[in-house]
Amino acid sequence: MKKVKVKELQRNEWQIERDLVVKEGKVYMLKDEELRVEIIQLYHDVLAAWHRGQWKMVKLVTGNYWWPGVMRNVGRYVEGCDLCQRMKNRTEEMAEKLKLSKVPEKLWTYLMVDFITKLLLVAGKDAILVVCNRLSKITYFVATIEGISAEDLARLFRDNV
Ligand SMILES: [Zn+2]
């Protein structure tokens, strides 16, 4: 990344951390169209934003980066993605149908299972399997890996929950 001279920074909300220009905790992306598109692409294709539509993308990208026109750039990128457009319509539909879930009557009838991912690798594990019994609220946390197979997950579940 290119260096920016201090004299180009005008207000005190701008800071230089290492070689990065930081504004209110966000990395200011220099005017390098390719690099900006690369960041949008990274969030869109690889990270959690996977085809979640424009606003989710804007939120994720601007959580860490900022540049003039970032919202327009993200918007244009998402508009160009067929799948994003379809997902957008789908989330709107689902939002209308949101209902409170029924309280389960028996223990172990309903479980919530989720993964906490993108963790630092510790002892070969980079994710946590979270299993919560909806009635008792007893929650199990099991260290695992993000790319776990269905078979290994079943084994993990049997041995730990
Ligand atoms: Zn998309």
Domain contains 151 = yes
Q: What is the pLDDT of residues 67-105, one digit of tens each?
A: 888 999 988 888 888 877 777 665 554 444 455 566 666
Using alpha carbons, list the distances in angstroms from residue 33 to 29, 68, 109, 122, 136: 9, 11, 52, 36, 52
**Residues lining ligand 1 (ion), CB within 5 A?**
51, 81, 83-84
Q: How many CB atoms lie within 10 A of CB 139?
A: 11
Residue 146 near residue 125 (C-beta atoms within 8 A): no
The pLDDT of residue 107 is: 66
Provide the b/e sequence for 45-67 (b: ≥16 CB within 10 Å): eeeebebbbbebbbebbeeebbb
C-beta separation of 36 from 73 below 8 A: yes
* Alpha-carbon 84 to chain mean position: 15
Is residue 125 a contact partner of residue 132, using CB atoms and an 8 Å limit? no
Domain match, 89 and 118 both:
no
Q: What is the DSSP letter of 47?
A: S
pTM of the predicted model over 0.85? no
Q: Does 24 fall in a domain?
A: yes
Interval between CA 72 and ligand 1 midpoint (Å): 15
Distance 117 CA to ligand 1 centre (A): 21
Looking at residue 6, its pLDDT comes to 45
What percent of the chain lies above the pLDDT cut of 90? 1
- Per-residue pLDDT band for 121 (boundaries 50, 70, 90) equals confident
Calculate how far, in angstroms, residue 147's C-alpha sits from the geometric centre of ligand 1. 22
Residue tagged 């905790």 (tokens): 25
Average pLDDT, the chain: 73
Whole-number pLDDT of residue 11 = 52
Q: Are 43 and 118 found together in one domain?
A: no
Range of 4-18, 69-83, 96-110, 127-141 with top mean pLDDT? 69-83
The Å distance, Cα 81 to ligand 1 centre, comes to: 5
CA dist list (Å): 61 to 24, 67, 117, 130 = 14, 10, 19, 27
Q: How far is the CA of 41 from the centre of ligand 1 (A)?
A: 9
Alpha carbon of 124 to ligand 1 centroid (Å): 32
Query: Which residues span the domain enclosing 58?
Result: 6-96
Residue 7, pLDDT > 50, answer: no
Domain presence at residue 28: yes
Q: pLDDT digits over 33-73, tens only? A: 888 888 888 888 766 556 777 788 888 888 888 888 899 99
Is the same domain home to 56 and 33? Answer: yes
Output the CA 48–ligand 1 centroid distance in Å.
11
